[in-house]
Amino acid sequence: MTAENEMSQNRANNYTQLVSVAAVLIGLAFVAYELKQNNSMMRAQIRNELSAASIELNMMWQRPELVSLYLKTSSSADNLSAEEARLLSLAIGATFRMWENMHYQNRIGTYDESEIAANRLIWSNSVKSIQVYREYWSQSKQVFSEEFQNEIDTIIGE
């Protein structure tokens, strides 16, 4: 092989390596773009699911038997039958579980601060003004995450 052929071969190898590196970089850029798109879709899906769950929760609280129980417990749940207390506890538990999910989604970054701010106001108004919510919380808070417990306990302590 002549020196000229060897130089041509080296140039061809260098060109091939350069094209390979460029292809890898383009591939990585495409993967990064796809991950960003996937993250945006995931956030939108979670937001949609939380909205749907919130609507279902609101519809549940509009059921006549829950409205009646809520009004019956304006000061305390002591005047409820065991069945009524169980039904109300399940409804309040579902509410707190929904709140905990929102809190969790905020902690992991799929629900941002502007989205959670209005919900924190609702949580605060509810636990401060509704006695049965505070009673439920004092009896059941241990079944929720420590982070969510701290959030609600802070709200109650304000």
Q: Which residues of 110-147 are buried (b: 16+ CB within 10 A; e: fewer)?
A: bbeeeebeebbeebeebbeeeebbebbbeeeeeebeee
pTM, whole model, 2 decimals? 0.72
Q: What is the pLDDT of residues 11-33, one digit of tens each?
A: 777 778 887 877 787 877 777 77
Q: Where is pLDDT greater, at 20 or 105? A: 105
Mean pLDDT score across all residues of the chain: 85
Looking at residues 117-133, what average pLDDT do you find? 92
The pLDDT of residue 76: 61
How is the chain split into domains, by residue range?
3-157
Half-sphere exposure of 23 (CA within 13 A, CB side): 6
Half-sphere exposure of 98 (CA within 13 A, CB side): 22
Q: Quickly state the pLDDT bin for 125 (edges 50, 70, 90).
A: very high
Q: Which among 7, 125, 130 is positioned nearest to 72, based on CA atoms?
A: 130
Q: How many residues does the chain have?
A: 158
